Structure 1
Amino acid sequence: MTPADATGLASELAELAADRALLGRTSTAERVAAILRGRITEGLFRPGVRLSEERIGGALGVSRNTLRESFRLLTHERLLVHRLNRGTFVRVLDVADIQDIYRARRLVECAAVRGLGAPPYVLDDVRAAVETGERAAARADWQELGTANIRFHQAVAGLAGSVRVDDMMRGVLAELRLAFHVMADPRRFYEPYLSRNRQILDALDAGDAEGAERMLGFYLEDSRRQLVEAYPAEPESAAR
């Protein structure tokens, strides 16, 4: 392990330790999995990284059995992969995964907008994500902009008002974040869509769900094509 890797690991574990309070007195594998899923979505754990049971369990203050069960849950969600005699790694996606993720996103996100009733719409979460993204771009914080973009799409799916859709999209969007991690220039993949997020919000604000859905459909197709064209044919990772 290089000094830079050690520094990065220490930072990651410190952030996880801050999540310990979220577990409260009812520490469960599901809650641990939710924390790790959220941290993957935020970009804390990158594709190919081996997850240390001892260090992560210590940071969160949970037993090894609880942590292993949370790993199993996230493996089922296709976020982690277990390698015999090697450990558990954050999964690396391939192009087929990306195509399937966008297929699911189009079905869910566009349907959520299409299913809106009469305006006005409750857009608090959508608006918060757009504004967070704009502030991150002003600071040139491209990782935070990526997280804000993920939250924007989670909020769009949330317009469906379905707990099941929300749960499904959390997993789908966490997977998507793994794809963006292997790209050399994250700014290139996030910044151009920030203004489009604002345009979709403005259309919804104006009560134009049909226009917002149309813009969202073009947006997702452009994003899918851009990512697939630039994605490495063989992303380098120990988890492959």
Structure 2
Amino acid sequence: MTRTGGGTPVGELADDRTLLGRTSTAERVADILRNRVAEGYFRPGERLSEEAIGGALGISRNTLREAFRLLTHERLLVHELNRGVFVRVLAVEDVEDIYRTRRLVECAVVRGLGDPPYPLDGLEAAVGAGEQAAEDGTWTGVATANIHFHRELVALAGSARTDELMRGVLAELRLAFHVMDDPRGLHQPYLVRNRALLDALGAGDRDRAERLLAAYLDDSREQLVKRYAHQVAQARP
């Protein structure tokens, strides 16, 4: 399997070639790579190989470089002169800002929902995937399912602009998940809370759902920021 310089498999990107269609564009490539960051395929600090990724997707170097530029603008990648392009390593302040943004957007989405019933199939699938991954002991899978849950939650707003904003924000969040040394302890409590939030929306209780979500995000922010700051301090020479 082809790998990047940091050791992450990129051969699976060949499966994404069909998403590019006949008119390969930098935006579509950026979308594929953003999703791969959100799903945990690329780790913070990893160098991304133009040759490996370009070959896997069957795209030109110029197209890939433009995609890298777009993702650099979104703070998912960084370009280091004479070294290449790397997946960004977040600062503690980045994690705090991610949660400020999430609380503003996600709570506003729930508050602004119309009359029930709500289209909850995507949320149901994400909750089920997380519970199954936990049963299998695959905690990276639980993290991915959690990212999908919140993307589906934001999608209830029916806003392409909000979806686009949160795709980048949640991809950044996954970069913080990567450095945690206890993924089970980090993610397991939120399986139950995802289910509770889904149940509240299923019952059409928008106000209760917003309260649950606000408390969920506040608790998650406090927990993750504390753990992330500890991990960053431990990694310093």
Aligned twin of 1:135? 132
Distance (whole Å) between structure 1 residues aligned to residue 85 and residue 75 of structure 2: 12
- Give the structure-1-normalised TM-score: 0.93
Percent of residue pairs bearing the same amino acid type: 66
Distance of aligned partners of 1:129 and 1:161 in 2 relative to their CA distance in 1, 3 Å threshold: same
1:64 aligns with 2:64: no
Distance (whole Å) between structure 2 residues aligned to residue 147 and residue 8 of structure 1: 21
> What do residues 136-161 of structure 1 show as CA deviations (whole Å, max 9, x unaligned)?
11111111110100010111111111
| Alpha carbons 1:182, 1:235 under 8 Å: kept | no
Q: Secondary structure at the match of 1:43?
A: coil
Q: Secondary structure at the match of 2:113?
A: coil
Aligned twin of 1:26? 23
Distance (whole Å) between structure 2 residues aligned to residue 17 and residue 235 of structure 1: 37
Aligned twin of 2:216? 219
Q: Secondary structure at the match of 1:12?
A: coil
Distance of aligned partners of 1:6 and 1:156 in 2 relative to their CA distance in 1, 3 Å threshold: closer
| Unmatched 5+ stretches in structure 1 | none
Distance (whole Å) between structure 1 residues aligned to residue 235 and residue 81 of structure 2: 19
| Alpha carbons 1:37, 1:171 under 8 Å: kept | yes
Aligned twin of 2:197? 200
Shift of 1:233: 3.2
Distance of aligned partners of 1:236 and 1:33 in 2 relative to their CA distance in 1, 3 Å threshold: farther
Shift of 1:179: 0.5
Distance (whole Å) between structure 1 residues aligned to residue 70 and residue 60 of structure 2: 16
Shift of 1:119: 1.2
Q: Secondary structure at the match of 1:233?
A: helix
Runs of 4+ in 1 over 6 A off after TM superposition: 5-8
Shift of 1:219: 0.4
**Please, what is the CA RMSD of the aligned residues?**
1.7
Distance (whole Å) between structure 2 residues aligned to residue 18 and residue 90 of structure 1: 21
Distance (whole Å) between structure 1 residues aligned to residue 118 and residue 12 of structure 2: 35
Number of matched residues? Answer: 232
Shift of 1:187: 1.3
1:179 aligns with 2:176: yes
Distance (whole Å) between structure 2 residues aligned to residue 40 and residue 13 of structure 1: 12
Aligned twin of 1:233? 232
What does 1:39-50 align with in structure 2 at a 5 Å threshold? 39-50=36-47
- Give the structure-2-normalised TM-score: 0.94
Distance (whole Å) between structure 2 residues aligned to residue 209 and residue 93 of structure 1: 33
What does 1:154-165 align with in structure 2 at a 5 Å threshold? 154-165=151-162
Distance (whole Å) between structure 2 residues aligned to residue 8 and residue 202 of structure 1: 41
What does 1:47-126 align with in structure 2 at a 5 Å threshold? 47-126=44-123
**Which amino acid counterpart does residue 193 of structure 1 have in structure 2?**
Y
Distance (whole Å) between structure 2 residues aligned to residue 190 and residue 26 of structure 1: 39
Shift of 1:115: 0.5
| Unmatched 5+ stretches in structure 2 | none
